[in-house]
């Protein structure tokens, strides 16, 4: 989508993020987390350290070298409990399942976690069609500057009444603000900003860009804000 900004992160922020990820997803040593994200993106951090820091199993699968159609059989054999992917890759995966209806089931799978792109109502319908009744779908949303900022959980009984899928509420120690032209929190309309003690330190080698995007939070002592530039 453009030139990478080279966002830096800290061990402290990763530990906080994985603690939040662990608590919200109830990760434990018995879980087996699928790793299909590129190691160069922050989604891989969730899967790698979400597994290793909980004594769980990390199960890497290379979708570039192996056929996506073989992923279903591999997941069933490996008894994957947490599937984490972008919505685009998820759609290709369930399309492959649709070509072999009734062949694969995933009784151990308890979470389908989507993030990195917009989730649409048809994604929910595909989830209901292809996964077991006890499995939940998680819509995670966030920027690399703040990692995951919001999460929303859905079960098989959820009925989507509108034309969009909710992205949920802020995760622990994260607040979403709407700032007016003076940089003060507004009520209805404004620039979207994220307040948290665990924002990225900034952009590598780009101090001016860092100063423009990150700063002290209004009326939020000890919390920096990240200004997204979006209304």
How many Cβ atoms sit within 10 Å of the Cβ of residue 85? 23
Average pLDDT, integer, range 165-173: 88
The distance from CA 103 to its chain's CA centroid, rounded to whole angstroms, is 29
How far is it, in rounded angstroms, from Cα 124 to Cα 165?
9
For residue 216, which phi and psi values (nearest 5 degrees)?
Answer: -65, 145
**Among residues 41, 48, 42, 85, which one has the least CA distance to residue 198?**
42
- Is-contact 84 33, C-beta < 8 A? yes
Average pLDDT, integer, range 176-200: 87
Average pLDDT, integer, range 80-98: 93
What pTM was estimated for this model as a whole?
0.90
In DSSP terms, 226 is beta-bridged to 194, 214
- Is-contact 215 224, C-beta < 8 A? yes
Query: pLDDT tens digits for 130-158?
Result: 999 999 999 998 888 987 788 999 999 99
Record the tokens describing residue 146, joined without a space. 């703040």
């Amino acid at each position: 989508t453009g030139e990478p900004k080279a966002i830096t992160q800290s061990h402290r922020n990763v530990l906080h993020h994985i603690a939040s990820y662990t608590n919200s997803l109830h990760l434990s040593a018995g879980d087996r987390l699928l790793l299909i994200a590129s190691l160069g993106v922050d989604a891989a951090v969730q899967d790698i350290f979400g597994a290793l820091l909980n004594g769980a199993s990390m199960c890497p699968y290379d979708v570039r070298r192996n056929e996506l159609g073989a992923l279903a059989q591999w997941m069933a054999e490996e008894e994957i409990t947490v599937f984490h992917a972008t919505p685009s890759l998820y759609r290709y995966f369930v399309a492959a399942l649709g070509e072999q209806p009734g062949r694969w089931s995933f009784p151990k799978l308890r979470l389908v976690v989507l993030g990195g792109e917009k989730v649409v109502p048809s994604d929910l319908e595909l989830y209901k069609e292809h996964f077991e009744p006890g499995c939940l779908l998680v819509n995670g949303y966030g920027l690399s500057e703040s990692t995951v900022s919001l999460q929303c959980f859905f079960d098989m009984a959820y009925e989507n009444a509108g034309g969009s899928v909710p992205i949920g509420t802020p995760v622990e120690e994260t607040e979403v603000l709407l700032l007016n032209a003076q940089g003060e929190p507004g009520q209805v309309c404004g620039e979207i900003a994220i307040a948290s003690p665990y924002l990225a330190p900034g952009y590598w080698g780009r101090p001016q860009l860092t100063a423009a995007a990150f700063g002290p939070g209004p009326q939020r002592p000890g919390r920096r804000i990240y200004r997204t530039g979006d209304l």
